[in-house]
Amino acid sequence: MCNGGTGGTGGNGSVLITWSDPNLPTVTSPTATGITSGGAVLGANVTSNGGGALTACGTCWGTSPSPAGNCAAEGGTATGVFTHARSGMPLGTLIYYRGYATNSAGTSYSSDGNFTTSLPGITFTTAVTVSGTFTVTGAISKGSGSFVIDHPLDPKNKLLYHSFVESPDVKNIYDGVTILDEEGKATVTLPTYFMALNKDFRYQVKPINKPSPNLYIEKEIEDGKFSIAGGNPGEKISWQITGIRHDPYILANPIIVEVEKGPNTPVKKGEYLYPELYATNSFSGVFGNFINLFKGLIRQLMLFSHD
């Protein structure tokens, strides 16, 4: 809920009543939670009524800073933290919002907060073919994935598929070949964006054409570079680096590897994405139990025949 008023003083048998005009209320800490494609739960903290009774407090939102439209009172008139659900926002749009409070002196606002409304998920239940460029600004979830092209060796008659490389981590892969200098060393420079995009690095280095048992990472990645040493002068070295994304988008939208089925997932609890791959009906369950029982009887008969 989001009191105010004045008071009187008295003494020596007399009553003295004083009154002063209130100041504007004070509103801080705008919050937004439960963000969806068309709304969110907005709130703020009315830390002072300004010395006057509050007549309303609530939130405003818009697509420009310092919104003064789309205002709605949350129903309370007490100081403190309040929240209420707001709707009617455009899909996939940057929304600015702020809290407000009103007393007889006027209306004051908190600072702005902002967020972007989500886009509703799209589920394809049949095969879909896109013949042009397909861009997704959110996430794609799938059972499997691959590229498909005309087969380079028989493009008229065959197709060639390759699977995506999958990982529970949001992993990037970088590789290359370098030549060691006269000291058996090399410094590899990674792309300029590497440090901004990646963290938690992993390394592999392998000599080409001949063994190099003393080869090692002399200096780990720093400022987008790493060093290899312990090899032979002029030796060709194959290297591979992986990193885990830590850019602003993935930090705000992390991939949760294991998720309970239910609301906001493709299927409810008790349902299957691929029911044809699982024994999901009572007939299958009973038939399966019968088969297991039959197999058990056969094993017992075989044991009995050996005794």
CB of 203 within 8 A of CB of 190?
A: no
The whole-angstrom distance between residue 172's C-alpha and the CA centroid of its chain comes to 17
Residue 157: per-residue pLDDT? 96
> Is residue 86 in a domain?
yes
Residue 274: per-residue pLDDT? 87
Residue 62: per-residue pLDDT? 96
Residue 304: per-residue pLDDT? 55
42, 96: one domain: yes
φ, ψ for residue 185 (rounded to 5)? Answer: -130, 165
84, 19: one domain: yes
> Is residue 240 in a domain?
yes
Domain boundary (99, 116, 133) is at: 116
> Is residue 127 in a domain?
no
> Is residue 156 in a domain?
no
Residue 303: per-residue pLDDT? 56
* Total number of domains in the chain: 3
14, 93: one domain: yes
> Is residue 28 in a domain?
yes
245, 270: one domain: no
Triad 244, 245, 251: Cα angle to 5°: 125
209, 270: one domain: no
Residue 81: per-residue pLDDT? 95
> Is residue 105 in a domain?
yes
Q: Hey, what are 257's tokens? A: 């590897």
Q: Nearest to residue 199, comparing CAs of 217, 222, 218?
A: 222
For the purposes of burial, counting CB atoms within 10 Å of the CB of 252, is it exposed (0-12), middle (13-18) or buried (19 or more)? Answer: exposed
Residue 282: per-residue pLDDT? 46
The amino acid sitting at 292 is N
Residue 289: per-residue pLDDT? 56
CB of 49 within 8 A of CB of 25?
A: yes
Residue 136: per-residue pLDDT? 79
218, 291: one domain: no
φ, ψ for residue 231 (rounded to 5)? Answer: -100, -170
Low-confidence ranges of the chain (pLDDT < 50): 3-9, 282-285
Residue 142: per-residue pLDDT? 84
Residue 119: per-residue pLDDT? 78
CB of 74 within 8 A of CB of 2?
A: yes
CB of 126 within 8 A of CB of 71?
A: no
108, 16: one domain: yes
273, 217: one domain: no
18, 112: one domain: yes
39, 89: one domain: yes
Maximum CA extent, the chain: 114
Domain that holds residue 273: 266-299
> Is residue 1 in a domain?
no
CATH number of the domain encompassing residue 82: 2.60.40.10
> Is residue 166 in a domain?
no
Q: Hey, what are 265's tokens? A: 């997932």
Q: How many helices (H) and strands (E) does the chain have?
A: 3, 18
